[in-house]
Amino acid sequence: MAYTESWSGKINRKLLKKLHIIDVAAGREKADLVLKNATYVNVFSGELDTRDIAVTEGLIVGMGSYQGLEEVDMTGKIICPGFIDAHIHLESSLVSPAEFARAVIPHGTTTVITDPHEITNVMGTDGIEYMIAATEDLPVDVRFMLPSCVPASPMDESGANLDYRDIDSFFDHPRVQGLAEMMNFPGIVAADGSTVAKIIASQAHHKKIDGHAPGLTGKELNAYIAAGVYSDHECADLDDAMEKLRLGQFIMIREGTAAKNLEALMPLIRSEKYFDRCMFCTDDKHPSDLLEKGHIDYICREAVRMGADPIRTVQVACLHAARYFLLNNRGAIAPGYLADFAIVEDLKDFHVVTVYKKGQRVYHEGKAADFPLPQIPEHLERRAHDTFHLPVLSAGNFAVSRPRGVIGMVPGQIVTTDQGYASAVDLQQDLLKMAVIERHRNTRHIGIGYLKGYGLKSGAVATSVAHDSHNIICVGCNDEDMAFATNRIAENHGGIVVVRDGEVLAELPLEIAGLMSEKPLQEVNDLLENAKDAAYALGVGRDIDPFMTLSFMSLPVIPTLRLTTRGVIDVNTQQYL
């Protein structure tokens, strides 16, 4: 009898809620909220409609003429569905997830799909648990794709090494959408069993698998897609994107801080044939970009400026990502969909004036609503603040006795070139020493190489944001400053530092796993910009981001050369130089 009553109670509560929704939709009861005279983007018909929008229980329940307990006149505004970022690493914002939410809400973002592989490379599955806890009940809905490559490549050395069994239980979490970017495309193409097993695990749970295969083509691309990879966000040119689109992949058009592909891929959005296979993503977004440019609203603004149809742009920014990730109750304004709204002044500048999340106003005319911070278990907090395990280093640890590979930077891109070998720093040739220092397990491994194109003329720059294993990466003009900078990073439990002659010129501590700060976004940005200025004053080229650019020099899945804790690697051949 108790079981029957319990079951009946649950059914009755859900039934009463549903009956109330139906009564409001039918006009028999007042809605919780009605947006009166609302001109909205109908992503299904591709037009602007004007009607009242009725909201009850966090859902849109009706379009037409309605009365509400609260009514807000929308005359002169345009209502878009809440924007969706199809692929982002929250850690790249350098602030906590709650602070990230505060930063993007004013830009109309209501859902993000995050891959926590940055913190997972540091903390293993504890990193996944930390991020799930840190994003619970935020006013931005944070959905997860589980890290597929920890480390990104067998050639790398991170804080964990996860196989499909380590992540399998997380697929059952209600906010997990699938398997994140499969960066180890060489492993897939080579039919490596342990790599392919992760795809099989995701498919067994009927989840999506995202891709990451820059420049992959021909039969190797066929093999990669045949394994079950559904999308790609690494298309830097139209030919690459079209080959993948023709083979059935969805294209995530990326416009972030480090990589900007929107202009190159604009023909996809302009084309009526291709745009419905596209969605927007940022991948990595630094504080200054969030503060000065925006988020998905900025991509919409730029797309329209480059000639995209405004309504089509909104469809790419909302509906397509929702449809791809099977988030069937968002990405549109229609009965049964979540009442997530980005209300803008027009479809040219996309200036966001008001944001609703599940029918609750979370931002209005410059002011965001307060929200409680998520509660993170104490053991995860302790673990996240103790991730540096390495000895104190001296200049002798950076000495080399043979020529090392030279990594050439490419302006505006994260790909690199092979610039041969070098034996010493040569400032006249813009040739600097670079090191990647293992910091997770005290292995004392230090990979040494050279970097061309960075511009530093004195001192050293170091950061613990070094994709994807997040060891310490340091570039400098002399071994003494490189040792000093590395030791300072460890003392701060992570972060960014610019030094010269044994003196700290600027720094940004990142105490959460060496990746994120607990400080407010504006304060983090001020410290970051101060550090950039210090790096530029030492000669770093002003056409690059000194730290984000440096952070990608250790990622061994982006061609051509990279530096790991064991030395310079040729990504195409997966061989050390």
Q: Which CATH superfamily is domain 81-344 in?
A: Metal-dependent hydrolases (3.20.20.140)
Domain with CATH 3.20.20.140 in the chain: 81-344
63-110 residue pLDDT tens: 999 999 999 999 999 999 999 999 999 999 999 999 999 999 999 999
347-366 residue pLDDT tens: 999 999 999 999 999 999 99
Integer Cα distance of 470 and 438 in angstroms: 9
Predicted pLDDT at 6: 62
Q: Look at phi and psi of residue 430 and say left if phi exceeds 0, alpha if psi is from -120 to 50, else beta.
A: left
DSSP H helices in 492-555 = 521-537, 546-551
Per-residue pLDDT band at 13 (split at 50, 70, 90): confident
Integer Cα distance of 496 and 504 in angstroms: 11
Per-residue pLDDT band at 319 (split at 50, 70, 90): very high
Does the structure show a pLDDT above 70 at 389? yes
Integer Cα distance of 103 and 454 in angstroms: 30
Per-residue pLDDT band at 258 (split at 50, 70, 90): confident
320-335 residue pLDDT tens: 999 999 999 999 999 9
Predicted pLDDT at 413: 76
For residue 419, report the phi and psi dihedrals to the nearest 5 degrees: -110, 25
Q: Kindly report the length of the chain.
A: 577
Of 114, 18, 100, the residue nearest 57 (C-alpha):
18
Of 530, 425, 422, 402, the residue nearest 474 (C-alpha):
425
Predicted pLDDT at 314: 98
Integer Cα distance of 439 and 432 in angstroms: 22
Least confident of 3-17, 265-279, 289-303, 554-568: 3-17
Predicted pLDDT at 382: 98
Whether the full predicted model's pTM is greater than 0.85, yes or no, is: yes
Q: Edge-to-edge, what's the strand order for the sheet holding 231-232?
A: 231-232, 250-254, 278-281
Predicted pLDDT at 154: 84
Residue 139: exposure state from Cβ atoms within 10 A (0-12, 13-18, ≥19)? buried
CA dihedral sign, ordered 278, 281, 283, 288 = positive
Residue 223 CA to its chain's centroid (Å): 26
Six-digit token string for 515 = 């990746």
549-561 residue pLDDT tens: 899 999 998 889 9
Residues 498, 507: contact at Cβ < 8 Å? yes
Residues 553, 563: contact at Cβ < 8 Å? yes
Residues 147, 167: contact at Cβ < 8 Å? yes
- E-assigned strand segments in 129-190: 141-146, 176-182
CATH number of the domain at 2-76, out of 3.30.56.10, 2.30.40.10, 3.40.50.300, 1.10.10.60?
A: 2.30.40.10
Integer Cα distance of 397 and 383 in angstroms: 28
Question: DSSP string of 201-235?
Answer: HHHHTT-EEEE--TT--HHHHHHHHHTT--EES--
Integer Cα distance of 60 and 53 in angstroms: 7
Predicted pLDDT at 203: 97
Average pLDDT over residues 367-394: 97
Per-residue pLDDT band at 574 (split at 50, 70, 90): confident
Q: How many CA atoms lie within 13 A of 169 on its CB side?
A: 5
Does the structure show a pLDDT above 50 at 3? no
For residue 177, report the phi and psi dihedrals to the nearest 5 degrees: -100, -20
Predicted pLDDT at 572: 87
Per-residue pLDDT band at 259 (split at 50, 70, 90): confident
User: What percentage of the chain exceeds 70 in pLDDT?
Assistant: 98
Q: Look at phi and psi of residue 226 and say left if phi exceeds 0, alpha if psi is from -120 to 50, else beta.
A: alpha
Task: Return mean pLDDT, the chain.
Answer: 96
Q: What angle do CA 129, 140, 93 make, to 5 degrees?
A: 70
Predicted pLDDT at 2: 41
Domain with CATH 2.30.40.10 in the chain: 2-76
Task: Write the CB contacts of 211 (distance below 8 Å, at least 6 apart in sequence).
Answer: 181, 182, 185, 224, 225, 229, 230, 231, 232, 233, 234, 244, 249
Radius of gyration of the chain (CA): 25
Predicted pLDDT at 7: 61
Does the structure show a pLDDT above 90 at 186? no
Per-residue pLDDT band at 411 (split at 50, 70, 90): confident
Predicted pLDDT at 1: 33
Does the structure show a pLDDT above 70 at 4? no
Predicted pLDDT at 548: 86
Residue 407 CA to its chain's centroid (Å): 25
Does the structure show a pLDDT above 60 at 152? yes
Residue 177 CA to its chain's centroid (Å): 15
Residues 214, 559: contact at Cβ < 8 Å? yes
Residue 253: exposure state from Cβ atoms within 10 A (0-12, 13-18, ≥19)? buried
User: What percentage of the chain exceeds 90 in pLDDT?
Assistant: 92
481-536 residue pLDDT tens: 999 999 999 999 999 999 999 999 999 999 999 999 999 999 999 999 999 999 99
428-475 residue pLDDT tens: 999 999 999 999 999 999 999 999 999 999 999 999 999 999 999 999
Per-residue pLDDT band at 414 (split at 50, 70, 90): confident
